[in-house]
Amino acid sequence: MPLILSGATSGSTTIQATDAVTQTITLPAQTGTVMVNGPTFSYYQSSAQTLSSSTTTKITFTSSEFDTTSGMFASSRFTPTVAGYYQFTAGFGVATTTCPAWVYFYKNGGSATGKLGNYITATSGISNIQSTALIYCNGSTDYIEVYGGVGTGQALGTGSSTTYFTGILVRGA
């Protein structure tokens, strides 16, 4: 299979493989790192955590559905060693009592740099409160945790569809 590498006057670079069909990849005239198999994870709470009333609490995630981060996730904290922009999603279930509920992503442990995710009035039964955010991490010191609260203290719902924390690198720095 002939492989052709050519540059254009616009600065872009084209990689072209020709055989029975022609396959072409054009790289834009920018400097960057092509990410392949970037880190991603999905953790959930398997043992119910009880929150005090109106107290914003770090949510714990002790079981994983998958984790390709090679150790970046520990103690319910994600500390990526690859700099870039990460899409995070987290949620928890309120099982028993109608009350306000909220969920945050905390960056580097402080509410000052945290992002308010969502705030609802959960109803009894199981209400799931979820939030998503796109957050830049520097690949060395930045870390992300999930904090949540409920107006009336209670145990959270458990399981991968109820109380969870997922993340994926969507763009390198």
Partner 1 sequence: MNLYDKLIKLYPSLTDADFSPLGTITLQNDSDGKGDYIALWKHPSLKEPTQEELDAIN
Binding window for partner 1 (CB under 8 A); candidates: 13-21, 99-107, 126-134, 161-169: 99-107
Of the pair 40, 60, the CB lying nearest partner 1 is at 60
- Specify whether the CB–CB gap between 170 and 87 falls below 8 A: yes
Task: Give the pair of three-digit tokens for residue 151.
Answer: 């107006």
Binding mask 3-42 for partner 1 (x = CB under 8 A): ----------------------------------------
- Specify whether the CB–CB gap between 138 and 83 falls below 8 A: yes
For the CA atoms of 44, 50, 53, 56, the dihedral, rounded to the nearest 10 degrees, stands at -40
Task: Give the pair of three-digit tokens for residue 122.
Answer: 């959960």
**Number of shown-chain residues binding partner 1 (CB under 8 A):** 24
Nearest 5 degrees, angle CA 106-CA 83-CA 15? 140
Q: One-letter amino acid identity for 93?
A: G
Of the pair 60, 132, the CB lying nearest partner 1 is at 60
Out of 60, 63, 98, 108, which residue is the one contacting partner 1 (CB under 8 A)? 60
Chain positions contacting partner 1, by CB under 8 A: 49, 51-60, 76, 99-100, 102, 104, 109, 111, 116, 119, 147, 149, 151, 153
